[in-house]
Structure 1
Amino acid sequence: MTLGLAGAPLTVPAAFAQSAPIAHPADPTRGGAGGRIIRVTSLAKQGPGSLAEAVNAKGPRIVVFEVSGAIDLGRDTLSITEPYLTIAGQTAPSPGVTIIRGGIDLKTHDVIISHMRVMTGADGQAKRSGWEADAFSSVAAHNVVIEHNSFLWALDENMSASGPRFTGRTVAEWRKGTSHNIVFRENLAAEGLADSSHPKGEHSKGSLIHDNATGIVFYRNVWAHNVERAPLLKGGVQALMINNLIYNPQHRAVHYNLMNLEWTGQPYVTGELTAVGNVMRAGNDTDEGLPFLMLGGDGDLAYYGRDNRAVDRHGKPLPQFGRYGETKARLLPAKAPLAAIGGYRVLPSGDVETSVLASAGARPWDRAPDDIRVLFFIAEGRGEVIDDEHEVGPGYPAIKENRAPFVEADWDLATMKPKSGRYPGQKAGAQETLSPRDAASRQGTGK
């Protein structure tokens, strides 16, 4: 049995039932539950029937999709500023909805986003030319659940929680004024573009949790092929990491950094990280001897770690801890978890990779070709950090536009799960992307 967005029992779709059942505490929000249904019927960037129109509406609302395909933002960002919202990408007909040439900035509270794909991409922009979008970021948001999404090809972070560093005069006011109570669960954050259009140059980043953000949870996510930030926790952050998989980080995996250059004139705040049952696997780009956790800057990090596994490409153990700066920062070991872990099903680290690869990302019963490629490459020990989306294929995918009505009676509107247990486009068995020759060989017709 698994638990849904509000902790309710759910049926596990057969296509990924082989993954271990998961459980977690009740989420910090119900999003738009109980509100009106808004149907997305257009793939246009904005206007009648668009996703933009739906997210800009006021009041509690559940956004469902009666169309599949690509929403092209044209190098722009979808900004969400109205609270009490659920975006249910699982309701779309196959093959689901993908945002391309842009990203999502969430600037409000009480929001749930699930089963969406975002593929930002360089879109032909020159290196260091200034196009620097995140695939997803919360901006001073709170009470948020980001679950079962796929974030690829960001120019900055793939999946982050951000906001102002110092709002008010006290630490409590700082924490209230930036992102807090954000849950990232079962997402894929992969192939952040490295030497691309970001004005600072190299910027292949997984997740940035900005200074003083608190109540940040990473549960069963996959980071793959990002140079660093899987995640980066900035000064004073309070975070929990359980059963995540980090594959092929290049220079850093998990790291903490309170920078004096950014905190000048302010008293330092000790960060807190609880990390249980996570896995870091080196890949083709990973620096030799890379530790699971690295410490930079001047602020201290209180740390509770248990059963975290870090190995090189050949399965040999890597260090648990290292540092990148001869500064005053200290690692302060804790004897007990610094964040509540009750209610979570915590897998042994040796079971994490198989389980998480089967279920993470958008629509695991109906995967997109690029998600399949990334996940299979992780399992096979392949793949690399890239500078441009064309290095791994033709670029933005051609996604079929299909239409199907959303029938409210077929769905549990409290959890946004189909009552039948069968999702739109659900497939049985392994989902592979095969060449014509491989497909013929599977059917016994190859030469």
Structure 2
Amino acid sequence: MARIQYCLVSFLAFGLPLVSALAFPGAVGFGSIATGGSTPFVVTSLADSGTGTFRDAVSASGRNITFAVSGYIVLQSPVSLSSGITINGQTAPSPGIGVMGREISASGKNNIIIRNFRMRQGNLDPDTGKSAFNMGTASNVILDHCSVEYGVFDGVDAVGAVNVTVSNSIIALPIGQQFGAHLETGPATWYRNLWVSAHNRQPLTKANTQYINNVVYNYQAAYTVADTGGLFSHDIIGNYFIAGPSTTSAGDDYFQMNANQKVFASGNFLDSNKDGVLNGAAANTVGSAVVLTAPWNSGSTGLATLTAQQAFTSVVASAGASPRDQVDAFVVSTVNSLGTTGAILTNQASTGLSNNGYGTL
């Protein structure tokens, strides 16, 4: 009875679907209902395909995947995930696990949990219509402490996705379209993520959205709705927008916010002067959107436990896969320059990092 009462209280307090357990302890937001998989499967090979590989691991539903190997898996073709799986990248030996060169797709699947995993597409992928991670028309998906870089079409593509959380992750350095993330349908939660050096879509969200304690650096357009005809609500709380060398208009921290949108914006800051010091000012003006006096979702206030300044410190210290590798260290170093370094790229090799810009795991 106590468990039932607890779940009922959680549902009433947070406005989220009623579930018996979270995806993992500490999971938040709409994707926290993802159930993942339970059948153990250990990845024992860094090969692209074959027995014991990552591609083998995700080929069947219901699996709880751990890693006995570390390093990059160089993909020769896209990888399609099955429904009902958990990817536990945190189990890989140091320095961790990641994929490079092709898209990871959860398109049309459901109940997927991905943690501590690196997805680095880059120009090794000849298909310019693919993204680093695609979850179009998927449902019940949570990415936590992931690192998504060098997306070609988008870093994260989630058109038609339902019940999604992306938390504590790095979405950075998209090439090609140079877009961070695109999500439609929703609802969706973007929580304590680090967005770095994208032209736009950080994210593009055509959905009812929680956007809480994120940091966006060196943008040309940050939080975007794209003048959509859809009627959506947005809780935008405690985020820090920081202009960088590629930022031509710091006032595009909120972009194409039209009167169809309802927005609760509180505690957000914008540092626009590119002077190497974190010294922003309040930034809660959201275009022509209808201004809400309270969050549209009752759980948003409970998630927004950090000020924008505290979010900067926390996100820069802990977002992304752990331990941090060369790519994430490079990303974070540009953010810590606070306006003086950073660039929007067309090729991952432009970072100057080893392994043609992918860095070495």
Q: TM-score, normalised by structure 2?
A: 0.85
Q: What amino acid is the match of 2:35?
A: R
Which consecutive aligned stretches of 4+ in structure 1 deviate over 3 angstroms post-superposition?
A: 4-9, 23-26, 314-323, 396-400
**Matches of 2:84 and 2:137 in 1, distance apart?**
15
Tell me, yes or no, if the aligned pair for 1:158 and 1:207 is still in contact at 8 Å.
Answer: yes
CA distance in 2, matches of 1:209, 1:348: 25
The two structures, once aligned, show a CA RMSD in angstroms of 2.3
Distance 2:212 2:22 in 1: 17
The one-letter code matched in structure 1 to 2:58 is: V
Whichever residue aligns with residue 180 of structure 2, its letter is G
- Aligned counterpart for 1:294 among listed residues 255, 260, 264: 255
Are positions 1:247 and 2:217 aligned together? yes
Percent identity for Structure 1 against Structure 2? 26
Secondary structure, counterpart of 1:291 in structure 2: helix
The aligned residue for residue 14 of structure 1 is none
Is the partner of 1:113 in helix, strand or coil? strand
**Secondary structure of 2:270 counterpart:** strand
- Provide structure 2 residue ranges, at least 5 long, that are not aligned to the other structure: 1-20
Quick check: 1:248–1:281 contact (8 Å CA) kept in 2?
A: yes
CA distance in 1, matches of 2:182, 2:230: 18
SS at match of 1:64: strand
Provide Cα deviations, 1:101-137, integer angstroms capped at 9, x if missing partner.
Answer: 1121112111100111111111396xxxx52321112
Hey, what's the Cα distance between the residues in 1 that align with 2:187 and 2:96? 30
Q: Distance in 2 between matches of 1:289 and 1:25?
A: 29
Distance (whole Å) between structure 2 residues aligned to residue 104 and residue 299 of structure 1 = 35
Amino acid in the other structure paired with 2:25: A
Aligned to 2:88: 88
| Equivalent residue in structure 2 for 1:40, among 31, 38, 43 | 43
Q: 1:30 aligns with which of 25, 35, 50?
A: 35
Task: Identify the structure with bigger relative contact order (alpha carbons < 8 Å, sequence gap 6+).
Answer: 1
The 3 A distance-change label for structure 1 pair 7 and 123 is closer
Residue number among 261, 264, 280 corresponding to 1:304 in the alignment: 264
> Is structure 2 residue 329 aligned with structure 1 residue 372?
yes
Change beyond 3 A, Cα 1:124–1:77? closer
What does residue 63 of structure 2 align with?
A: 61
Q: What is the letter of the counterpart of residue 374 of structure 1?
A: V
CA distance in 2, matches of 1:225, 1:103: 20
Closer, same or farther in 2 for the Cα pair 1:344/1:321, shift >3 Å? closer
Match of 1:271 in 2: 232
In structure 1, the residue matched to 2:165 is 183
Q: Which residue of 1 aligns with 2:11?
A: none
1:283 is displaced (CA, Å) by 0.5
Q: Cα deviations across residues 281-303 of structure 1 (Å, max 9, x unaligned)?
A: 0001101342321226x771111
Name the aligned partner's letter for residue 209 of structure 1: L
In the TM superposition, what whole-angstrom CA distance separates every residue of 1:178-208 from its partner, at most 9, and x where no partner exists?
3111010001000011xx4xxxxxx100111
Deviations 1:302-349 (A, max 9, x none): 1111101112123454864466xxxxxx41111110123254252011
Amino acid across the alignment from 1:293? Y
Give the counterpart letter for 2:119 in structure 1. V
Aligned residue for 2:235, secondary structure, equals strand
Match of 2:290 among 332, 341, 346: 332
Q: CA deviation at 1:377?
A: 1.7
Change (3 A) 1:30 1:44: same
Q: Is 1:205 the equivalent of 2:179? A: yes
The 1:148/1:307 distance shift into structure 2, 3 A limit, reads same
Aligned partner of 1:383 in structure 2 is: 342
Query: How far is 1:68 from its partner?
Result: 1.0
Shift of 1:258: 4.5
Structure exhibiting the larger radius of gyration computed from Cα positions: 1
Q: Distance in 2 between matches of 1:289 and 1:91?
A: 40
What is the one-letter code of the residue matched to 1:63? I
Does residue 1:151 correspond to 2:148, yes or no? yes
Residue number among 303, 319, 324 corresponding to 1:344 in the alignment = 303
Q: Distance in 1 between matches of 2:146 and 2:344?
A: 20
How far apart are residue 155 of structure 1 and its match? Answer: 0.7
TM-score, scaled relative to structure 1: 0.69
